[in-house]
Amino acid sequence: MVRGTATPQLAAPAQKGPLDFSAWVEVDLSALEHNLRSAQRRTRAQVVPILKGDAYGHGAPVVAAFLQARGCTTLGVSTVEEALDILAWTKARIMLLAPPLPGQLPAVVKHNLIPALTSPELVPELNRLAALRPGGLTVQIKVDTGFGRLGTAPEDFPALLAEIKQASHLHLGGVFTHFSAAAGDKKFTRGQLQRLLALREAAPAGLLWHAAGSSAFLTLPESHLDLVRLGTLLYGQAPLPLDSSWQLQETWRCQARIIQTRWLPPGHSVGYSRAFRTQRPLRLGVIPVGYGHGLELEPAPSPWRQFKHAAFRALFPKHAVFHGREPLPIVGRVSMGLTCLDLTKSDLQVGDTVSVGMRRTVVSRQIPRLYYFRGKLKCIFWNHQLFDTRGRKISLRGLF
Ligand SMILES: Cc1ncc(COP(=O)(O)O)c(C=O)c1O
């Protein structure tokens, strides 16, 4: 089974840039391109990369510029804010997967975003604003075919369609839905697809119909329709087991340097609440990454889940930190910005680098993103700025 845990392709970074960073995320753009091409080879539909959640933690501005240079003419995000974050750096054609708020409509029109409409309420104001834009504005309808979250109910689709038809400055470009259980429930997913396609009769010709994210892309080829919206797969992770013809490549890894080592005697406690005590002399290493950056972030567990989790952990200890393939056990509680490691069996020194397993979408932007292309460091995004490999500020224009 491939779950995006392939060994990252990158060599240890010859880190250059504005600082000698103590922790950073490496993004392998060649791997991203490889995954994109692998998906494109498997469908006739247009692949629209999804960049919500800061491009799943990869840093949306650079990923947007890179994917556009690789021929992706449209990108998808959830909110207007996410779109503006990209547009502050690079021009892009962006579809919104969630409806904008009424107060965001001027920005939608100004930046020529493709909003998802889920009810007729926004249409008159959007139409009025769109009159100011030569050529008007393209919109899409999002239909809730069973997810139970965003979208118009199928039975309300005709009314929304009629409202948009009357709005002379709005052009309906597409109709889409989102699957709730494409990885596991094929029957339900097929039902969702049928509910979407049943609306085609009432709709004009020439629209883009879309439904599939990564899971349905794999499980239900008939759901590819005109366009597929892919996130997870492009970023090198598989939502379900892949056949061996797929060779997804890992696009992301977090690295940190050891900032202190020290021997502790037996019986010494480590970290907050004294939750860990040494049984023997222990060589402690500290890395400057903690739960505030996304390490060991777990949803607040119910007592039952807490119990299951503890039992599972006791049987199969989880190592979030590695040096090469060598696991480095975390000792004590992960704190906000620091984590302690047991280095007793390792000769790692201050300044040496370890890989830190993190939930990628929550890794804070304080951690710099180092972008590699064809094995070479290309640029660094840090502190809201972009740097070249010598630490000089640059723009994204013409970089890819
Ligand atoms: C509406 C919509 N489409 C597509 C996607 C991409 O999904 P995936 O990451 O599974 O490819 C998402 C992500 O959550 C989404 O919300």
95, 178, 189, best to mutate for ligand 1 pocket (most atoms within 8 Å of CB): 178
Angle at 215 between CA 212 and CA 218, to 5 degrees: 90
User: What is the C-alpha separation between 165 and 149, in angstroms, rounded?
Assistant: 25
- Please name the residue that has the structure tokens 């060994």: 7
Ligand 1 atom index nearest CA of 98: 1
Q: Between the CA of residue 117 and those of 121, 141, 145, 167, 346, what are the distances in Å?
A: 9, 5, 15, 13, 56
- pLDDT tens digits along 154-195: 999 999 999 999 999 999 999 999 999 999 999 999 999 999
Distance CA 291, CA 2 (A): 27
Residues forming beta bridges with residue 361, ordered by sequence position:
none
Q: What single string gives the DSSP state of each residue in 15-41?
A: --SSS--SEEEEEEHHHHHHHHHHHHT
- The pLDDT, as a whole number, for residue 1 is 32
Distance from Cα 145 to the centre of ligand 1, integer Å: 15
Percent of the chain with pLDDT over 90: 82
Distance separating alpha carbons of residues 182 and 185, to the nearest angstrom: 6
The answer to whether the beta carbons of residues 382 and 18 sit under 8 Å apart is: yes
202 and 155 in contact (C-beta within 8 Å)? Answer: no
Domain spans of the chain, in order of start: 29-230, 259-350
CA of 134 to the centre of ligand 1 (A): 31
Identify whether the C-beta of residue 68 lies closer than 8 Å to the C-beta of residue 60: no
Cα angle, residue 327 at apex, residues 325 and 328 outer, rounded to 5°: 135
**Cα–Cα distance, 196 to 173 (Å, whole number):** 15
Burial 198-211, CB ≥16 within 10 A → b, else e:
ebeeebeeebbbbb
Mutate to test the pocket of ligand 1, among 229, 235, 251 (most ligand atoms within 8 A of CB): 229
Q: Which of 8, 5, 2 is nearest to 255 (CA)?
A: 8
What are the DSSP calls for 323-374, one per residue? Answer: ETTEE--EES---SS-EEEE-TT----TT-EEEE---GGG--TTSPEEEEET
Which residue pairs from 19-22 have beta carbons closer than 8 angstroms and sit at least 24 positions apart in sequence? Answer: 19/368, 19/382, 19/391, 21/257, 21/368, 21/370, 21/382, 22/256, 22/257, 22/259, 22/288
The CATH label, of 3.30.70.2860, 3.40.50.300, 3.40.50.2000, 2.40.37.10, for the domain at 259-350 is 2.40.37.10
The tokens for 177 are: 């839905």
Token couple for 9: 């392709």
Centre of ligand 1 from the C-alpha of residue 383, in Å:
27
Q: How many CB atoms lie within 10 A of CB 376?
A: 13
Task: Give the Cα separation of 311 and 308 in Å (integer).
Answer: 5
Return the closest-CA partner of residue 289 out of 220, 200, 224, 367: 367
DSSP E strands in 276-338: the ranges are 276-277, 282-287, 321-323, 326-327, 330-331
Q: What is the pLDDT of residue 3?
A: 39
Residue 13: per-residue pLDDT:
52
Q: Is-contact 153 144, C-beta < 8 A?
A: yes
Question: pLDDT under 50 in the chain at which residues?
Answer: 1-9, 11-12, 298-301
Average pLDDT along the chain? 91
Q: pTM surpassing 0.75?
A: yes
Beta bridge partners of residue 396, listed in sequence order: none
Nearest protein CA to atom 13 of ligand 1, as residue: 231
Second CATH level (architecture) for the domain 29-230: Alpha-Beta Barrel (3.20)
Q: 3-class SS at 91?
A: coil
Distance 55 CA to ligand 1 centre (A): 11
Q: What residue ranges line ligand 1, CB within 6 angstroms?
A: 50, 97, 178, 213-215, 229-233, 239
Q: State the Cα–Cα distance between residues 58 and 279, nearest whole angstrom.
A: 40
Q: For position 296, what pLDDT does the model report?
A: 73
Q: Which amino acid is at 138?
A: T
CA of residue 2 to ligand 1 center, whole Å: 19
Between the CA of 283 and the centroid of ligand 1 the distance, in Å, is 44
